[in-house]
Amino acid sequence: MSFLIITSLIKIIGIVFVVILPLVSYSVYAERRVSALIQDRLGPNRVGPAGLFQPIADAMKFLLKEQLTPAHVNKFYYYLAPCLAMIPAIMTIAVVPFGSTLLGVPMVIADINVGVLYVFAIASLGVYGIVLAGWSSNSKYPFLGGVRSSSQMLSYELSLGLAVIPVFLLVGQLRLTSVVRYQIEHGWMIAPFMGDWTSPAKWLLTIPMWISFLVFMIAIFAETNRLPFDLPEAEQELAGGYHTEYAAMKFGLFFLGEYAAMITGSAVLVTLFLGGWHLPIPSWRGSFHWVLVDGSAPGWRGIAGGLFNIAIFFAKLIAVLLFFIWVRWTLPRFRYDQLMRLGWVFFFEIALVNIFIAALIIAYFPTS
């Protein structure tokens, strides 16, 4: 029992302070640097080698700035909102398996059987931070940002939830470790044919899985307020949106919360569709086959395998994050009515029909 508590505490501290928070600050750096490179600029390159210490300088700036509280705000909710923006984003990572095992300890903080429900429940709380910030600021632009955020969440949460149902139809469980285990045995969700190249059912399944993947990814974009769906914080229209009245570290928390939400969103995306920590290694010893590397082997091979799995997971995560950044600096923002139309008229229906397609395929080919 105490072993469980101690390992969990080590995992929590390790993940939050060693991985997530540095990853958050360095994704801000990557955002600035990649956007600059895309726009033929150089970006922050002065603090440290290649500007790598820029996040530290940013954090110092946020901490040392004056903690200004406007007189016209509703104090309690005004202070509560930044916390609500940051905490749910970090909490969500608890159920995501970020590695196989290390020294026999499973590399997931809480392996609960309602996995993905927990993710959706907690991740949706993040919108309260934004709505409360908009409302408590007592100012028109933040208010509009908060209202936009809540209606945007309403229209995208539906397709977000519906998009993953085919995955769970296939897996039969909501536990995220089981999803990863299933993908190891039957091929990743975006390539269900990988395990069995000859089965037509697997090839057919690719279609609903890709639809799921795309809808889920687009809904994650909307959920994390990323461009092209960053209407709550549209700088040009709303003077920054919900965080207009915030300064210093309180603004910093919104900023970091947004990136933390992006990281957890990508982590869920990687776990559900991109095979989690799994990377098959081809081997030609004897005949051609795929080797599964994980932490179950004895001795140093197990430790190396566990670390390899963790590295694979975060490599996939960073790849998805870079894709997020790439999309942000490519696409223009949607108009508000277009966003609503997209959410309610297209993605909702597509996700709904997709469930039936997946269910039919699974029903007609019971072996799959």
Partner 1 sequence: MAITVPRPKLSWFERLYLPAIVSGLIITLRHFKNMILGRTKVTMQYPEQKWDSAMPDHYRGAPALVRDESGRVRCVACQLCEFICPPRAIKIIPGEIPPADRFAKVEKYPNEFDIDMIRCIYCGMCEEVCPEQAIFLRKDYAITGLTRAEMVHDKQKLLEIGGVMHGVVLKWNERK
Give the Cα-Cα-Cα angle 27, 100, 321 (nearest 5 degrees): 20
- The yes or no reply on residue 48 touching partner 1 (CB under 8 A) is no
Q: Which is nearer to partner 1, 296 or 330 (CB)?
A: 330
Q: Catalogue the E-assigned strands of 71-193.
A: 101-102, 105-106
356 class by beta-carbon count within 10 Å (0-12 exposed, 13-18 middle, 19+ buried):
exposed
Q: Catalogue the E-assigned strands of the chain.
A: 101-102, 105-106, 281-283, 289-291
Nearest Cα neighbor of 153 from 52, 199, 221, 217 is 221
Q: Which of 330, 335, 349, 356 binds partner 1 (CB under 8 A)?
A: 330
Nearest Cα neighbor of 129 from 258, 239, 23, 227 is 258
Interface stretch with partner 1, choices 18-26, 34-42, 157-165, 234-242 (CB under 8 A): 34-42
Residue indicated by tokens 């086959």: 289
Q: Which is nearer to partner 1, 116 or 222 (CB)?
A: 222
Interface stretch with partner 1, choices 8-16, 251-259, 293-301, 324-332 (CB under 8 A): 324-332
Q: Which is nearer to partner 1, 255 or 348 (CB)?
A: 348
Q: Distance between CA 266 and CA 63 in Å, rounded?
A: 28
Q: Which of 87, 114, 327, 340 binds partner 1 (CB under 8 A)?
A: 327
In angstroms, what is the minimal distance from the CB of 344 to partner 1? 16
Record the tokens describing residue 228, joined without a space: 């092209």
| Residue 268 · residue 92 · CB < 8 Å | yes
Record the tokens describing residue 238, joined without a space: 């709303």
| Residue 171 · residue 178 · CB < 8 Å | yes
In angstroms, what is the minimal distance from the CB of 337 to partner 1? 15
Interface stretch with partner 1, choices 2-10, 33-41, 285-293, 357-365 (CB under 8 A): 33-41
- The yes or no reply on residue 10 touching partner 1 (CB under 8 A) is no
In angstroms, what is the minimal distance from the CB of 169 to partner 1? 25
In angstroms, what is the minimal distance from the CB of 74 to partner 1? 40
| Residue 87 · residue 94 · CB < 8 Å | no
Record the tokens describing residue 263, joined without a space: 């990281």
Q: Distance between CA 80 and CA 85 in Å, rounded?
A: 9
Q: Which of 12, 16, 19, 38 binds partner 1 (CB under 8 A)?
A: 38
Q: Which of 326, 349, 353, 364 binds partner 1 (CB under 8 A)?
A: 326
281 three-class SS:
strand
Q: Which is nearer to partner 1, 203 or 329 (CB)?
A: 329
Interface stretch with partner 1, choices 163-171, 278-286, 321-329, 354-362 (CB under 8 A): 321-329
**Considering CB under 8 A, how many residues would be counted as binding partner 1?**
12
Interface stretch with partner 1, choices 35-43, 125-133, 177-185, 266-274 (CB under 8 A): 35-43
- The yes or no reply on residue 345 touching partner 1 (CB under 8 A) is no
Interface with partner 1 in residues 160-199 (CB under 8 A): none
- The yes or no reply on residue 210 touching partner 1 (CB under 8 A) is no
- The yes or no reply on residue 350 touching partner 1 (CB under 8 A) is no
Which residues are CB-neighbours of 194 under 8 A, at least 6 positions away? 186, 187, 188, 280
Identity (one letter) of the amino acid at 194? M
Q: Distance between CA 264 and CA 19 in Å, rounded?
A: 12
Interface stretch with partner 1, choices 40-48, 50-58, 307-315, 347-355 (CB under 8 A): 40-48
Contact footprint for partner 1 (CB under 8 A): 34, 37-42, 326-327, 329-331
